[in-house]
Amino acid sequence: MSEKSKQAAKSKSKKTSSYVPIDSPIDRLHPMIKIYAIFCLGIGCAVFPFLWLAYSVVVFLFFVAWKAKMLTKFAGFITAFAIPITVMLLFIQGLYSPKNVTILADFGFAKLGLEGVLYTFKTVGTLLVFLGSFYLMTTTTYPGKLVTAMQDAGLNPKAGYLVLASLNVVPQIQRRIAVIQEAQTARGVEVTGKLKTRFTAFLPIIGPTVMSSLIDVQERGMTLEIRGFGAKGVKPSSLTELNVSPAEKAIKRVLVTFLILCIAFAFSWAIFTRVR
């Protein structure tokens, strides 16, 4: 494949899903292992009673992002999510949580409580683990490979298509909005500038987006049917073949062990605190 066609393929795949084709060990990893990672790491951190675990996993995710050659993008995503959500939760939980007993600061109109602050950091940490790992999974996994992996694991092809469609829907709508925006500006709708101008441009852009998306869904449904999507009694074949390597099996065992240990520790900790 020439450099130019590679670039074209790259830009095309960028347009149809959030997948970024960069060759890396994380990209090559079996998609089911990545899904295991999301759930094992996420649930593990959610049940674990201390907040250091979640942040250690976030640091580990940064290492994974570095291995996947997308550290900057990942750091940007995490920061863009973490800062506003932390501020918002600190305000709600830190100042007004009913669990607040230990007062850290008194602002007059409200008091900042330690329990609320800890709860905030625990929630943000768990959310970052879930979102960060999910972000890494979607950006490093070719959607076709993901669906094949899920179908190999016993997922119904119809449900598999649903997964694929939901992964593709956001980039597709973004592309459609860009075209609609062009069409409406050509009719005299100003889409940039003052807030009021932008607000009045909302209806001319959202109207065709919703209507054409509905038409698109209807047409997509029909084209899927005529290509035998709903055929019964047939085992569908796939162009993508996936094998789980011994190393991947080991990673899976480590992830499951991590989850079991977290749950076991959470249980013992709950019993221990109650007895005490």
Footprint of other proteins on 217-246 (CB under 8 A): none
d(CA 214, CA 173): 11
Q: How far apart are CA 107 and CA 109, in angstroms?
A: 6
- Strand partners for 106: 111
Least Å distance between CB 272 and other proteins?
57
Q: Quick check: 148 binds other proteins (CB under 8 A)?
A: no
Residue tagged 């469609």 (tokens): 165
Cα 35 to the center of its chain, rounded Å? 11
- Considering the complex, state which of residue 213 and residue 240 has its C-beta at the smaller distance from other proteins: 213
Choices 45-53, 63-71, 123-131, 209-217; region in contact with other proteins by CB under 8 A: 209-217
Binding mask of the shown chain, residues 8 to 27, with x at each position contacting other proteins by CB under 8 A: x-xx--x-------------
The CB-of-215 to other proteins minimum distance in angstroms stands at: 6
Strand partners of residue 112: 105
Half-sphere exposure of 271 (CA within 13 A, CB side): 5
Q: How far apart are CA 215 and CA 22, in angstroms?
A: 34
What phi and psi values does residue 159 have, to the nearest 5 degrees? -65, -35
User: Least distance in Å: CB of 11 to other proteins?
Assistant: 3
The binder of other proteins chosen from 172, 176, 224, 242 (CB under 8 A):
176
Nearer to other proteins, 180 or 244 (CB): 180
Residues lying near other proteins in the complex (CB under 8 A): 4, 7-8, 10-11, 14, 176, 179-180, 182-192, 203-204, 207-208, 211-212, 215
